[in-house]
Structure 1
Amino acid sequence: MKEANRTKGLLLVITGAIFWGVGGTVAQKLFQQYAINVNWLVTTRLLIAGFLLLTVQFLLKDRSQIIDVWKKKSSAVQLIIFGLLGMLAVQYTYMASIRHGNAAVATLLQYLAPVLIILYMILRKQTVLSRQDIITVLLSLCGCFFLLTNGSLSELSVPAPAIIWGVLSAVALAFYTLYAVPLLPQYDSLVIVGWAMIIGGFALSFIHPPWHMDFTRLPIGAYANLGFVIIFGTMLAFFFYIESLQSLSPKETSLLSSLEPLAAVMTTVFWLHEPFGFMQWIGTACIIGMILLMALTKKTPSVE
């Protein structure tokens, strides 16, 4: 029975990580092929996925938590801040980076968040600089250099806006990870993330309401891709990841989640036929190596 649960956990985290990675590539296709507006996609994705996560909580877990989280003023304020500066910031900057560049680069840049967390904790004197930290930072810097320049000092191989949004995405993910720590022990993850998505989507609705879209111009293929991003690339990816923690250690789950950037790179290059130079592959290997190093040697905060 224990082995069966472990096998189930492995399948869930692997599937969830692949869904996240492929979801970014499908979003890229929506931007490039169907000219979907970034603001509209983020708004729609957050509202629908957040509603679905709370529905899962209502049907399968402690439904009282959905309301209880709003009864305490401290947790309510934290949740609003988390929804706006955490969830919305992460989702918007990540999608904007994809829009200006591609899913592979956006995902790899976002995975620099653990390095930012290390540096933050060192500056706050919450941890000491270790040899592993130095190796991790060096791998991330080398990875970024090769990924963004393809080894050339004279030019960038990735558009500057994609890099800026990608780095901001890493900063937002670092904040998201650190700020979520006090909330998660009090309430189920589905409650926190579901409400955070709805808060973020509601706020962005004032800039781009989800109903402001000419739905008649979109072919069936666009709706299929949109459905994949919302259902598989957001809602199921997160749900599978959380469920895997029931039978796997956080270390194992963190390690296997490194399949996300790998899936994003592979689908971007081989499905969308984005050009990727040899040195960019070296940079990709450095960043994935950094993720594996952190997952294998210490417990890493895991957030999607």
Structure 2
Amino acid sequence: MKRRKGIFLVLIGAICWGVGGTVSQKLFQQYGIDVNWLVTVRLLISGGLLLFVHYMTKERTQLIGVLKMKSTAIQVLIFGLMGMLAVQYTYMVSIHHGNAAVATLLQYTAPVMIIVYLVFRRQSTFTKRDMLTGVLALVGMFLLLTNGSVSTLTVPAVAVFWGILSAVALSFYTLYPIKLLKQFDSLVVVGWAMLIGGAALSLVHPPWKVNLSQLPFEAYIYLLFVIVFGTMVAFWFYIESLKYLSPKDSSLIGSVEPLAAVITTVFWLKEPFGLFQWIGTACFVYMILFMALYQPKIRGEKKKLGSLIDDR
């Protein structure tokens, strides 16, 4: 039952994340919303809402308790800046320069990066399964970005750069907060991380300097969706799933996010998507399904990953 709950949480979170990325793309392209402003506002508001929900429904001492101890306060600070803010900013900038489908698919090379990290730390061996998933990810990325032609990229190089950085950030975001989640509720961890990330970015891009008075009503609906579902629910559910699943399981099952992003980008935003790009997408989907079906091997590596995290 716990595993099913974890799968449910990560699936809902990933779908909200993927659709939220597509809605963000619409805000950038149709309404001219500044990417820095959107990242700052969604972090600050979502973080505040999560902490308010915890205050109203759970043990209130944790709200300040996580910051009272120097060790956990530093962990929350690092997670907020290098995890939460890094994931949000790199992903949104990749969407801004490219599109939500490509940005999301690039971000979900993270499971492969986690495998490489485990092998590098000698906590796992490089298996045929790992080799196949790595090849699928590389082939899928090539077809997705080139549409079968080596002469041009279907998105600008800068979008590819930020998309790969978002995958690195997602790997860190998945692995780092395990110790914190053993001591504190996910609402507290995610809420403070969002506030820290939003506050840090607001020092560079103050959100109050942007005039939104000319936006139509529907744009505010899209903003509300991005903040509540694409940020608060998505990040909360994903982190909460780590209580019931291993980081590798969460990152693999959460890879349904690219599918949600691709479907909504193509059929809602009417973005062109070539034949080879669909084949590339199929490579990603097959990689995700292939890795998820090898449950015995994944579970066998949970202890290795747990010892890695304990040794950090």
1:132 Cα deviation from its structure 2 partner: 1.1
Query: 2:59 is aligned with what amino acid?
Result: D
State the TM-score, normalizing by the size of structure 2.
Answer: 0.87
Structure 2 residue corresponding to 1:219, chosen from 216, 220, 231: 216
Look up the match of 1:95: 92
SS of structure 2 residue aligned to 1:206:
helix
Q: Which amino acid aligns with 2:155?
A: V
2:204 alignment partner in structure 1: 207
Write the deviation string for residues 63-113 of structure 1: whole angstroms up to 9, x where unpaired: 211111111111111111111111111100000000000000111111011
Distance (Å, rounded) in 2 between the aligned partners of 1:111 and 1:27: 18
SS at match of 1:121: helix
Tell me, yes or no, if structure 1 residue 138 matches structure 2 residue 135.
yes
* Identity among equivalent pairs (%): 64
- In the TM superposition, 1:98-247 aligns within 5 A as 98-241=95-238
Instruction: Map 1:54-65 to 2 at 5 A.
Output: 54-65=51-62
For the Cα contact (< 8 Å) 1:255–1:296, is it kept in 2? Answer: no
- Written as runs of structure 1 = structure 2, the 5 A alignment for 1:251-270 is 256-270=253-267
Query: Is the contact between residue 46 and residue 200 of structure 1 (CA under 8 Å) also seen in structure 2?
Result: yes
**Aligned mates of 2:35, 2:289 — CA distance in 1:** 31
State the alpha-carbon separation in 2 of the partners of residues 240 and 124 from structure 1: 28
**TM-score, L = length of structure 1:** 0.90
More displaced 10-residue stretch of structure 1: 150-159 or 30-39: 150-159
> For each residue in 1:148-193, what CA deviation from the matched residue of structure 2 results, as whole angstroms up to 9, or x when unmatched?
1111122111111110000010111112222222222121122111
Letter in 2 for 1:142: V
Deviation at 1:13, TM superposition (A): 4.9
The answer to whether the 8 A contact 1:85-1:172 is kept is yes
Structure with the higher helix share, 1 or 2: 2
Is the Cα–Cα contact under 8 Å of residues 252 and 295 in structure 1 kept in the other structure?
A: yes
Structure 1 portions without partners, runs of 5+: none
* Equivalent of residue 291 in structure 2, options 285, 289, 294: 294
> Whole-Å Cα distance in 2 between the matches of residues 165 and 253 of structure 1?
22
RMSD: 2.4
Which range is displaced more, 79-88 or 292-301? 292-301
SS at match of 1:126: coil
Aligned counterparts of 2:71 and 2:110: Cα–Cα separation in 1: 26
Which 5+ residue runs of structure 2 have no aligned equivalent? Answer: 306-312
What secondary structure, in the 3-state scheme, does the structure 1 residue paired with 2:68 have?
Answer: coil
The Cα shift of 1:121 comes to: 1.7
